[in-house]
Amino acid sequence: MLKTLKQVRMYSIPVSDPRVSELITWYLRALQRAIDIIWDNTEWKYRLPKIERRKRKQIVIIPYKLKVPELPKDKSFKKRLRDDLLQNCPYARHWVDAVIRTAYSIMESWRKRYLRGRARKVKPRVRRRFARCKITLMRVDYGEKRIRITVKPGEYIEVSWGGRWFTRRVEGWSVGEVVLKDDGVLIPFKSTRAIEVRDVVAWDSNELSLDGFSSRVGFIRVDLKPLQSMKIVYERKKRVAQSRGLKDVYEKYVARERNRERDFVNKLASGLTRLLPNTTHVFEDLEKEELVSRRETPKSRRKRNARTPWKIIQRKISERAVVAKVSPRNTSRTCPRCGYVVKTQVGRVFKCPRCGFELDRQKLASVNIYLKYLRMRGFPHSDDPEEAVKGELWVGVTPSGRSPVTWIPVKRDPKGSEAKGRGLGIKRYQAL
Ligand SMILES: [Zn+2]
Per-residue confidence (pLDDT) for residue 403, from 0 to 100: 35
State in Å: Cα 185 to ligand 1 middle: 56
Per-residue confidence (pLDDT) for residue 406, from 0 to 100: 42
Domain that holds residue 329: 198-423
Alpha-carbon distance 402 to 421, whole Å? 22
Considering the domain architecture, whether residues 167 and 304 belong to the same structural domain is answered as no
Secondary structure of the chain in the HEC alphabet? CEEEEEEEEEEEEECCCHHHHHHHHHHHHHHHHHHHHHHHCCEEEECCCEEEEECCEEEEECCCCCEEEECCCCHHHHHHHHHHHHCCCCCCHHHHHHHHHHHHHHHHHHHHHHHCCCCCCCCCCCCCCCEECCHHHEEEECCCCEEEEEEECCEEEEEECCCCCCHHHHCCCEECCCEEECCEEEEEEEEEEEEECCEEEEEEECCCEEEEEECCCEEEEEECHHHHHHHHHHHHHHHHHHHCCCHHHHHHHHHHHHHHHHHHHHHHHHHHHHHCCCEEEEEECHHHHCCCCHHHCCHHHHHHHCCCCHHHHHHHHHCCCEEEEECCCCCCCECCCCCCECCCCCCCEEECCCCCCEEEHHHHHHHHHHHHHHHHCCCCCCCCHHHHCCCEEEEEECCCCCCCCEECCCCCCCCCCCCEEEECCCCCCCCC
Per-residue confidence (pLDDT) for residue 300, from 0 to 100: 55
State in Å: Cα 218 to ligand 1 middle: 20
Look at residues 167, 139, 141, 149 and name the one whose alpha carbon lies nearest to residue 15: 149
State in Å: Cα 326 to ligand 1 middle: 21
The distance of Cα 245 from the centroid of its chain, to the nearest Å, equals 34
The count of domains in the chain is 3
Last residue of a domain, one of 143, 169, 195: 195
The answer on pLDDT for 274 being more than 80 is: yes
- 432 is a domain residue: no
**Overall average pLDDT of the 253-274 stretch:** 90
Alpha-carbon distance 430 to 409, whole Å? 6
Output 396 or 239, whichever has higher pLDDT. 239
HSE, side-chain direction, 13 A CA sphere, residue 307: 19
Considering the domain architecture, whether residues 235 and 295 belong to the same structural domain is answered as yes
- 431 is a domain residue: no
For ion ligand 1, residues whose CB falls within 5 Å: 335, 337-338, 340, 352, 354-355, 357
Alpha-carbon distance 365 to 379, whole Å? 19
Considering the domain architecture, whether residues 229 and 248 belong to the same structural domain is answered as yes
The distance of Cα 279 from the centroid of its chain, to the nearest Å, equals 18
Last residue of a domain, one of 180, 195, 210: 195
Q: Do residues 346 and 306 touch, judged by C-beta distance below 8 A?
A: no
Residue 420's pLDDT band (cuts 50, 70, 90): very low
Considering the domain architecture, whether residues 78 and 174 belong to the same structural domain is answered as no
Q: What is the largest CA-CA distance in the chain?
A: 76
Q: Do residues 161 and 155 touch, judged by C-beta distance below 8 A?
A: no
State in Å: Cα 386 to ligand 1 middle: 12
Look at residues 204, 151, 155 and name the one whose alpha carbon lies nearest to residue 369: 204
Considering the domain architecture, whether residues 113 and 183 belong to the same structural domain is answered as no
State in Å: Cα 213 to ligand 1 middle: 19
Considering the domain architecture, whether residues 100 and 146 belong to the same structural domain is answered as no
- 428 is a domain residue: no
- 331 is a domain residue: yes
The distance of Cα 419 from the centroid of its chain, to the nearest Å, equals 31
Alpha-carbon distance 258 to 277, whole Å? 28
The distance of Cα 375 from the centroid of its chain, to the nearest Å, equals 24
Considering the domain architecture, whether residues 203 and 69 belong to the same structural domain is answered as no
The answer on pLDDT for 399 being more than 70 is: no
pTM here is: 0.67
Alpha-carbon distance 125 to 106, whole Å? 9
Q: Do residues 386 and 407 touch, judged by C-beta distance below 8 A?
A: no
Nearest 5°: CA angle at 279, between 165 and 407? 70
Segment of 1-5, 255-259, 306-310 carrying the highest mean pLDDT: 255-259
Residue 425's pLDDT band (cuts 50, 70, 90): very low
Considering the domain architecture, whether residues 13 and 110 belong to the same structural domain is answered as no
State in Å: Cα 284 to ligand 1 middle: 22
State in Å: Cα 349 to ligand 1 middle: 13
Considering the domain architecture, whether residues 186 and 253 belong to the same structural domain is answered as no
The answer on pLDDT for 423 being more than 50 is: no
Considering the domain architecture, whether residues 255 and 291 belong to the same structural domain is answered as yes
Give the least confident one: 7-21, 55-69, 203-217, 289-303: 289-303
- 174 is a domain residue: yes
Residue 416's pLDDT band (cuts 50, 70, 90): very low
State in Å: Cα 300 to ligand 1 middle: 23
Give the least confident one: 140-154, 234-248, 306-320, 373-387: 373-387
- 234 is a domain residue: yes
State in Å: Cα 391 to ligand 1 middle: 22
Last residue of a domain, one of 114, 131, 148: 131
Considering the domain architecture, whether residues 40 and 117 belong to the same structural domain is answered as yes
State in Å: Cα 358 to ligand 1 middle: 8
- 257 is a domain residue: yes
Alpha-carbon distance 418 to 305, whole Å? 34
- 399 is a domain residue: yes
Considering the domain architecture, whether residues 88 and 229 belong to the same structural domain is answered as no
